[in-house]
Amino acid sequence: MTRHFEVQPGGGLTGRVRVPGDKSISHRSIMLGSIAEGTTHVSGFLEGADALSTMNVFRALGVRIEGPDQGRVTVHGVGLHGLRGVSHPLDCGNAGTAMRLLIGLLAGQKFGSTLIGDESLSKRPMRRVADPLGRMGASIHTVEGRPPVRIEPVPTLRGIDYVMPMASAQVKSSLILAGLYAEGETVVTEPAPTRDHTERMLEGFGVRLTREGASVRLRGGQPLRATDIDVPADISSAAFFLVGASIAAGADLLLEHVGINPTRTGILDILKLMGASIDLINPRTVGGEPVADLRVRSASLRGIAVPPELVPLAIDEFPVLFIAAACASGRTVVTGAEELRVKESDRIAVMADGLRALGIDATPTPDGMVIEGRGATGPVFSAGSIASHGDHRIAMAFAMASLRAAGPLHIDDTLNVATSFPGFVSLAAGAGLKIAEAG
């Protein structure tokens, strides 16, 4: 089964939009709720394929989960040691977050597990979590560093003091989850700040951990107590509309209830450096996570050298940031983003190919890209066909390019958009994008 987008040029973005719930928080709500004692109630849960894969894995492991029903989920926790092993592989679908975090969580169980994924996930590197977990005493086997992943039971895990060679919230979270099952203390130090949803949520479940500068310190064996979780709208999904409204003439859009965790707001900082008009309205805290409504209006963007310290804070948003760069005046340079090459696709290569297919001067580098902006007004992109390589963020990024295109855009292989943003086409069309999806 294949799907594709047909997007007509022009259009605009106005009104009010609430994008689906945060994928990172949705994953973690199921994981931590499952190993907590008591019943956890979740609202705003992302009913996308990735988060549903996590839910199905924990159901297979013996956790009773009700929902999702309009974003509401009830997780009947089984406690830290209540999961049950199964003989069949656990399918993570397209969810890299699910697989990497599960490797850490399952490493300390008294049963073995095998994790598998779809064709895209089966190409993604897992040694980055398997190797440090091996230092903790875990027994993890991959196929040349990639899935399927076999996790064998071991007598015990040992806490370690680990300095991460590269910034990755998934690696950090995997080690923290393994640390719950380890003897002694686990300390993880990251070279640059990454999203801290795991730490925040663990504290919400009553786990004591210490954050000292770039390090997180956790003592193993602590029980989790069930809690209620309100999942904010996903800033990574809001990013498409933040860029779209910034580049579209006459745009004025309000994005409601968006999570603005400071480890996730690189997209806001980068766009503001480029000259975007973004206002935070009614900032508040919901369930330990900062939230605000974001008003974004059309602006004349300018090219910048993206500060390296902002790159890890916007790593998932770079596909659409590359679209913003093409619509800016002057050159945009991105470095330190080599992580983009091992996402659902090689996002540096795929975005560069797509931009060039639409007439943009885009030069990929080993760790980023150089884009010569075509100016802040008028059509920027030529008509054309884009190969998304099944990558949901590539497909949605190029859909926003239609706002400044001279002709129609055909974007192929869009089925995986549902992994992170179910209902993207109807929501975008309702806000003014001239988009349709077909088989």
Domain locations along the chain: 4-21+232-438, 23-213+226-230
Residue among 383, 420, 430, 434 nearest 22 (CA)? 420
Specify the CATH number of the domain 4-21+232-438: 3.65.10.10
In sequence order, which residues have a C-beta less than 8 Å from that of residue 125 and are 6 or more positions away? 145, 146, 342
pTM of the predicted protein model: 0.89
- Please give the pLDDT value at position 2: 79
Specify the CATH number of the domain 23-213+226-230: 3.65.10.10
- Please give the pLDDT value at position 1: 67
| 234 is annotated as an active-site residue | no
Q: Is the peptide bond before 319 cis (omega within 30 degrees of 0)?
A: no
Pick the catalytic residue: 316, 353, 361, 367?
Answer: 316
The tens-digit pLDDT sequence of the chain (439 residues) is: 679 999 999 889 999 999 999 999 999 999 999 999 999 999 999 999 999 999 999 999 999 999 999 999 999 999 999 999 999 999 999 999 999 999 999 999 999 999 999 999 999 999 999 999 999 999 999 999 999 999 999 999 999 999 999 989 999 999 999 999 999 999 999 998 899 999 999 999 999 999 999 999 999 999 999 999 999 999 999 999 999 999 999 999 999 999 999 999 999 999 999 999 999 999 998 878 999 999 999 999 999 999 999 999 999 999 999 999 999 999 999 999 999 998 989 999 999 999 999 999 999 999 999 999 998 678 999 999 999 999 999 999 999 999 999 999 999 999 999 888 999 999 999 999 999 998 8
In sequence order, which residues have a C-beta less than 8 Å from that of residue 435 and are 6 or more positions away? 5, 6, 7, 8, 11, 399, 402, 425, 428, 429
- Please give the pLDDT value at position 339: 92
Q: Identical fold at 4-21+232-438 and 23-213+226-230? A: yes
Structure tokens at 279: 């206002």
